[in-house]
Amino acid sequence: MDWFKMFYAVLGGLGLFFFGMKILSESLQASASDFIRNIIGKLTNNRLVAVGVGLIVTCLIQSSSITTVMVVGFVNAGLMNLMQALGVILGANIGTTITGWMISIKVGQYSLLFIGLGALPHLLAKNSKVKVFGKLIFAIGLIFLGLDAMSGAFKPLRTEPSFINLMTYFTADNYFSLLATITAGCLLTFVIQSSSAMLGITIALATSGSITFQTALALVMGENIGTTITALLASVGTNTSARRAGLGHAIFNVLGVFILTLLFIPYRHLIEAIIPGDAFFIAADGTAPHVAPHIAAGHTLFNVINTLIFIPLLPLLHKTVCWIVPEEKQKEERHLDFVGDLSTLSPALGIHQAYLEVVKQGQLVADAVSWTKSLLEDPYKNKDLIPRIRKYETISDNIQKEITIFLGRVMEASLTKEETKGVQSILRMADELESVADYCESITYYLERLERHGLRFDGETHQEVNQLATDVKSLFDAIFENVKNHSEFDFKKFDEIREGINQYADQLKWHHIQRIHDHKIPALASVTLSDIAVALRRMKNHTVNLAESYLGGKAHLSKAIDTDQ
């Protein structure tokens, strides 16, 4: 047997399969990105709903790894609690089994037809939706072409004595052999870093007649453990809850596999009873024509049974991971919480994750604005707020810089006009939020200037400054709440608040001139009052710009806003 020929044929087939899965995932993400964003954003504490969300999202993006990495990021960012995350991960395990059914369909002989039918609209069509659909069909063709190449390359193994001797250790006909096969599946999935690719290899080996259905079933069980490593790696360097989510995924799959090892023979018989055809039948050409659907059914049944077992046990799983990974003190500095690796994410989901970072930045700035208002109310009593405001300004500055770098990498990909507007909108929003935080910090220095010289504003001036700060905070809170929740903008309300701030700022300025004329305010206090008023007015301007920048990219960032507004 020519081992080199088999090696490069398998490698080429695996490459086609990998590339096809990547393109398929990107196409599905691009076509369903709005739905994915909305469904994740509407998670509730209902564990069944969370499981359903994980199942649907994973079916759409064709990768449980991407789903679990996203979930770890959402938990790290505080947008999802641990119980929700565990539910979504259970659903993702079921959703990923659709890959097995897809590659078990006997359409490999039409792979070149799929490639041709998909390539033409993708290259020639002007409509973006038609192009995405063509790309999706093209990807399916590549997947089947890769599987055909691997299956053909594995055929000589059926009669290779060294391979037959090796497979005597992986017959899964006794408990030791079963554990050895499961371990092999786990290790190979860890090396390849793709349970879908390993599933494709397993089906190709079984279809070619190189391994039995029983061996393939045990390998799939091991692959379910190996795929959890992706989530564990994604949780490295994240916060406690995110690490708990990754660990929960591993515990869920490991325990599920352990339970099925005890019931392996009844489990195998159940699959054979459900799926028509003899999984062990070998045709005249040496292939196993019925084994692929049996393997796909085994993959699905394992995850469905496992999920049904663990849904009522989610609170116990939650307590277990919390016990294994205890709470720790949060780090002082924070960077981007959950933007993903663009090698596995489509631009559409990359933009969405950057937007969620902006929302997180906005929450930090909202706290800084609130503390600034409290500081102005009583600079001496609330002086402990000064370091907090400055710390949040530094974090906001870091987030803004890292979002800019991340989106710069996103823009290197081929973006639609809508996605380009979304990127521009997020960049401007991050910049406007950072400007608001800058002026919050500036006010802390202005108030320290007063304290150093033992000065205070008189009662009337103090009251006017507080009122102006209150109005600015109200405007920021109202606009940010709309941006965060994708709710409709009440422009009349915002215009009233903005106009009221402008009028009050003009009134404060006129009163200030009167006080200077009447020698009622020291020169340094006068300058400081002017600086604070200018800072608050500019905070108002940047807040209005925040709303405008969000609306500028609303076609991509939110479908909930009425375009007639």
Q: Are residues 485 and 375 in the same domain?
A: yes
pLDDT at 557: 47
Instruction: Please tell me the total count of domains within the chain.
Output: 2
Q: Are residues 525 and 418 in the same domain?
A: yes
83-97, 290-304, 322-336, 383-397: which range is least confident on average?
A: 322-336
Q: Are residues 83 and 229 in the same domain?
A: yes
Which helix (H) or strand (E) segment is 257 a member of? helix 240-262
Q: Are residues 393 and 266 in the same domain?
A: no
Q: Are residues 50 and 174 in the same domain?
A: yes
Exposed/middle/buried for 542, CB within 10 Å: 0-12, 13-18, 19+? buried
Residue 88: CB atoms within 10 A of its CB come to 32
Q: How high does pLDDT run on average in the chain?
A: 77
Q: Where is pLDDT greater, at 225 or 97?
A: 225
Backbone φ, ψ for residue 194 (5° rounding): -155, 110
194-203, 398-407, 479-488, 490-499: which range is least confident on average?
A: 490-499
Q: Is residue 562 part of a domain?
A: no
% the chain with pLDDT above 90: 9
pLDDT at 492: 67
pLDDT at 84: 76
Q: Are residues 392 and 274 in the same domain?
A: no
pLDDT greater than 60 at residue 131? yes
Indicate which CATH number applies to the domain containing 421: 1.20.58.220
pLDDT greater than 50 at residue 565? no
d(CA 298, CA 485): 41
CA neighbor of 397 nearest in space, from 363, 431, 347: 431
Highest mean pLDDT among 63-67, 111-115, 219-223, 519-523: 219-223
Q: What is the pTM of this model?
A: 0.57
Place of tokens 């055809």: 277
d(CA 554, CA 549): 9
Residue that is last in its domain, among 324, 356, 372: 324
pLDDT greater than 60 at residue 241? yes
Q: Is residue 332 part of a domain?
A: no
Q: Are residues 311 and 253 in the same domain?
A: yes
pLDDT tens, residue by residue, 509-559: 666 666 665 556 666 677 787 888 889 888 988 998 888 888 766 544 443
Residue that is last in its domain, among 324, 359, 386: 324
pLDDT tens, residue by residue, 259-294: 889 989 999 999 999 988 888 888 887 778 888 889
State the residue range of the domain holding 132. Answer: 3-324
Q: Is residue 330 part of a domain?
A: no
* Cβ–Cβ < 8 Å for 65, 71: no
Provide the 3-class DSSP secondary structure of residue 181: helix
Q: Where is pLDDT greater, at 33 or 399?
A: 399
Q: Where is pLDDT greater, at 41 or 439?
A: 439
pLDDT greater than 60 at residue 560? no
pLDDT at 164: 58
Q: Is residue 173 part of a domain?
A: yes
Q: Are residues 165 and 117 in the same domain?
A: yes
Q: Is residue 524 part of a domain?
A: yes
* Cβ–Cβ < 8 Å for 159, 148: no
Place of tokens 């309300």: 493
Q: Are residues 392 and 298 in the same domain?
A: no
Q: Are residues 310 and 453 in the same domain?
A: no
Q: Are residues 308 and 375 in the same domain?
A: no
pLDDT greater than 70 at residue 329? no
Q: Are residues 83 and 196 in the same domain?
A: yes
Q: Is residue 355 part of a domain?
A: yes
